[in-house]
Each structure stands twice: as C-alpha cells, then as structure tokens.
Amino acid sequence: MKFDKIKNIAIIFLITFLVSFFSKFYLLNSLPPSLFSDEVDAGYQAMTFNRCFSDYNGNKFPIHFQSFSDWRTPLYIYSISIVNIFIQNPELSVRLPSVIFGSLSSVIFYLLLKKIKFKLIPALISTIVWTLNPWLFHFSRTGFEVSGMILFFLLAIYSLISYLTTKKTSYLYPMVIFFGLMPLFYSTSKLSLILIAVTIIYIWFHTIIKLPKKTIILLACLTLFISSPLIIDTVRSRSGFRFSYINIFTEPHLDKKTDYLRYEDIYSDHIGEIGVVTPLSSKIIHNRYTLMLNKFIQNYISSFSTDFLFLKGDLNLRHGFSNYGYFYLIDLVIFLIGMYSFLKTKNILKKQISKFFLISLLLAPIPFALTRDSLSPHATRLILMAPSIIYFISLGINYLYQKIKTTPLKILLSFGLFITYIISFLYFFHFYRYHYPQTSARDWHYGIKQTLSQVSKTNYKNFYISNKYESFLPFYLFYQNYVPIKQDCSPVKSIISQTSDYFTGLVTESNYHFGIIEWSSILNQSQILATSAFIIPQSELSTVENALSDKFSMKIINQSSQKYLNQENFIFFTIE
C-alpha cells in the first residue's frame, strides 16, 4: 500500500513537472524575442565564473556579482553557470534555469495543497491554474531571478505546513534555509522576508513559544548563518545597492515640488505680492514627508488595480503585455469564492494557512510601494502577490468541488473548469506567441545579436558602436564569449574608459568602441575613418547624414532585417 502511494505521487510529480516544463520550454530561444541586456549580463557573469570562479570584475566566489552599474544577486547566476557546463546555446543557458524553477514550483504547489487535505481533482485543477497563469508563465520563460525566489518561497511554506501537520521540528530547519536564500535570488525579498517573519510569529506565536529552547537556539543560529553573507554585503553596500537610489526617500526635487505646491496655496489670495509668509496649514499639508507618503499610497493601491492584475499588466513590455493582464477574468470570480470559503472554514490549520496567505498578499506590495522609478505597478517587485492570489483561487475551486455532492456534477464542474482554463490560456498564448513579440521586440533588444554576428565576419581594425539605443558592450562580451588576450580572469580590467572630442565611452583591447560618437568631430579623423566601421541604430541615421554633408558618404555593409513591427534596426557601415 505504501509503495502504491509512493508510485502514484511519483507519477503525478512527473506528469506535473513535464507538462509545466514543456509548456514553458516551447520556443524558449525566441519567445520573448531575444535576450535583453540584464539577461546577457547574467549570462556573461556565469561564463566568467565557470572560467575564473569570479565575476567579471575579479571578485572570487562572490556573494553579489559586480556588474557595470549594479551588484547582482548570486543564485540565479550560479544556476546559469551550472547549466552552461552542459548547454552551450546562449539563450537556453540563461533561460533554462527559470524554466526548471517554474516547473518545480508547479509540483511544490500541488504537494502544498495536498498537505492541507485538498482532494486529488481540485489539487490538480489548481495546479493547472498555477502552471497556466500568465504572470508566472512569462517570468518562468525569461532570465529573471524571481522564478527561483518563488520556488524557494513555496518550499519554505511547504516545510512550515509539514511541521504544523506532523509537529516534527526537523521541518523548521529547511524552512529557515529556504526563506533565508530567497534574497540571494532577488534583493527586494529582503524586506518581504522581514514581513513574512513577522506574519509567521503573529499567526503561530503560541506554537513558537512552546518549541524546546534548544530548537529555538539552533534555529536562531541557522538564521544568523544563512543571513550572514547578506548582512556582510549589506554593510559593504553591495546588497541593496540599487534600492539605495530608487527608494522614495531619495526622490529628487521634493523640496522644489513642496515649494511650488505652497506657492499655489497662496497665489490666488496674494497675486503679485512679495514676501508673503507661508501659512502653517500649507506647511503641514505640503512637505517632503506628505509627498513621500502620497507616493507610497499611490504605489500600494495601484498594485491591486484591475488595470494591472486583469487588463494591462506592467507597462514595461519586458514585464507585462500592455493590453493583457496577469489573471483571467474567471480567476476574479473564483478568487472571491475562495475568500468566502476562508471566512467560512472551521478547520484551524487551513484557517491559519489562509490567514498567512491573506496577510502576505496585503504586505507583498510594500517593497514596490517604497520605490519611485516605475510609472506603473512593477510586476517583478510585486510577483510575491501571485502565490497568494492563486492560493485563494485554489480555495475557491476546492470549495465548489466540496459543495457539489453528486459524482456526475463533480465531473461536470471539473471538466468545465479545466476547459475554461485551457481556452483562456490558448487565447493568451496566441497573443503571447504572435502579437506580444511584435510590440515588445524593441524592449527585448532584438537585433543586437544579429548585428554583432555580421561584425564578426569583417576584418576592420576598429569598430565604433553607438550607445544611443542601448549599450552593445554586454552583448559583445556575452555572444563573443570575450576572453582578454592576456587570459586575465577579470575581463572588465581590459576594458578602458576613453574620452576625446569625437568619442566618449568604453574600449576593449581589441578596439571595439562602445559609447557616444560626436560625428562632426570624428569626420576630421582621417586615419580613424580609413580603418574603422560603424554601427548605429536607425534612429541616429539622420544625425549622421546631416554631419556627413557633401564631403563624405556612407557605404552600408549590412542593415538589419525587419522581423518585428516594433524593433530597432541597425546600420553597419563605413565612411568614405
């Protein structure tokens, strides 16, 4: 009997993983259209680590990888480095870890539901909901670190539930490990982790204080051990480097905005007057703190908007789809049923778990709400909302299944939900497969790889590549698998900064120049013109043509083809 149970679990595990994996693996090289700059940067970091056991700035076995403008979390890069040992395809090596993490998340979500006594059919349908959810589907196909964070979040919750159902303290140790490693996938989860810890203490305080003192001490030591690398890098200003300049407390011009609002307060009653004293009420209403609070509230509320969740998503086309949300309309109905079932349930464990997911949902937007660099809700920073929302959708499915007593009606409900979600996903995937690439190709930096492949076929002494659209440097390093001539394990040390009257940017030892070109000045450099080729985006063509006047002409070597409606084209040429 025990063997049959293990066999059944193994079969379900395998089927769930394979369905999830192949749905995400399909056209992975070209959907989304290409690797964008952050993906190629992570890929080159992994390549460098496999060769040198360091990041490309020479930091050995880094806790955070030092990139050109940021410090990056390590676990996804280490995952790429492992895949890179076996797979040489650049797109696959960067995106495959995300597919694996996303597929495993589907399995763990199923096991989590079974742990809280879901019947087989509701658990399987809920897992389909998880697998086919547009938000998680998209982020499991791209080289974003959050797919690993979601997996570790689920593993931690599964460990917590395992402890609550068995009272075996051994489950608490993997819970601490999985929670503790989440910020090493995605930095924003540091604050989320603090909020999650407070939530767990709030809900299970009476359970926690009954733990043996030895267990509490060991858990505290394990927590300190797991978090110590993060603490060290936080002190060294590596962890949270990006947050240090995108948080709402560093928003520029707050004082100017405050002064203007106060000026508007007194303008109508004191037109043309000079030296008017600002009223106390105006100072109370308009100051840098109320402006920051207003920004926080706007960000927080927008995270729950129907525009973001159901209609448009993140306006950044790498994160969202512009006219397609992250949940289907049927999700909203079943989510509300799930909330109702939570309020009605008498099962103490299910009540506590549901309360945890509800509080997690309400707290998840806080890290995003504290930032100022996004014009719309930020899908990456808000992705910890997704597990909670899908959990309540699962409660709704389970509630409907339990309320129906006859087998034929249960079959009808199950079949109806299954077909509805499959059709909803097929509509979404049609959009994702045929329309999304057309609108998002520019955001995914399509065309840079293809242009660089043409460069490698030529034999010019110097290449000047414009950064007007996007820096080609990370793409060059990644796709050329750049190794310094001296075999230095710190590739960036061979890339020097150059400033002159005709060029400002970075130069590799092989004379690839990446930066801003002053065309009126470079035309006076006859030796450079004789030995160099140039690459510019289509949007810079008119600037070059105006500078050339009648004295020079462009000889086009290659011009990128138009595969997508909204893409940046590139021109590869010499000047004669």
Assign 550 to helix, strand or coil: coil
The neighbour count for residue 264, using CB atoms within 10 Å, is 11
| pLDDT tens track for 214-243 | 999 999 999 999 988 888 877 776 666 666
Phi, psi dihedral angles at 195 (to 5 degrees):
-65, -40
506, 471, 470, 469: which is closest to 491 by C-alpha?
Answer: 506
Judged against a pLDDT cut of 90, whether residue 164 lies above it is answered with: yes
Encode 37-65: b = buried (16+ Cβ within 10 Å), e = exposed. bbbbbbbbbbbbbeebebbbbbeeebbbb
Burial of 223 (0-12, 13-18, 19+ CB in 10 A): middle
Half-sphere exposure for 35 (CA within 13 Å, toward CB): 26
Taking the C-alpha atoms of residue 497 and residue 506, their distance in angstroms, rounded to an integer, is: 5
H-helix or E-strand containing 139? helix 134-139
Tokens of 572: 């590869």
The domain ranges of the chain are 15-241+303-440, 253-291, 448-575
Is residue 240 left, alpha or beta, with left meaning phi > 0 and alpha meaning psi from -120 to 50?
left
Q: CB–CB of 59/69 below 8 Å? A: no
| pLDDT tens track for 61-78 | 999 999 887 889 999 999
Taking the C-alpha atoms of residue 397 and residue 374, their distance in angstroms, rounded to an integer, is: 35
Q: Considering all CA atoms of the chain, what is the largest pairwise distance in Å, rounded to the nearest integer?
A: 90
Q: Which amino acid is at 470?
A: E
| pLDDT tens track for 519-549 | 989 988 888 898 999 999 999 999 998 888 7
Taking the C-alpha atoms of residue 301 and residue 10, their distance in angstroms, rounded to an integer, is: 42
C-alpha of 354 from chain center: 26
DSSP string covering 117-161: T--HHHHHHHHHHHHT-HHHHHHTSSS-THHHHHHHHHHHHHHHH
The number of residues making up the chain comes to 576
| pLDDT tens track for 79-110 | 999 999 999 898 899 999 999 999 999 999 99
232, 218, 141: which is closest to 184 by C-alpha?
Answer: 232
- Residue 170 CB partners (closer than 8 Å, separation 6+): none
Phi, psi dihedral angles at 503 (to 5 degrees):
-155, 140
Helix axes 385-403, 329-344, angle to 10 degrees: 70
- State pTM to two decimals: 0.92
Task: Tell me how far CA of residue 204 lies from CA of 55, 181, 211, in angstroms.
Answer: 41, 22, 11
| pLDDT tens track for 454-463 | 887 888 889 9
- State the pLDDT at residue 162: 95
Q: What is the mean pLDDT of the chain?
A: 90
H-helix or E-strand containing 72? strand 71-72
Q: CB–CB of 485/498 below 8 Å? A: no
Taking the C-alpha atoms of residue 101 and residue 496, their distance in angstroms, rounded to an integer, is: 37
Taking the C-alpha atoms of residue 98 and residue 136, their distance in angstroms, rounded to an integer, is: 10
Give the model's confidence band at 173: pLDDT under 50 very low, under 70 low, under 90 confident, else very high.
Answer: very high
Judged against a pLDDT cut of 60, whether residue 1 lies above it is answered with: no
Assign 461 to helix, strand or coil: coil
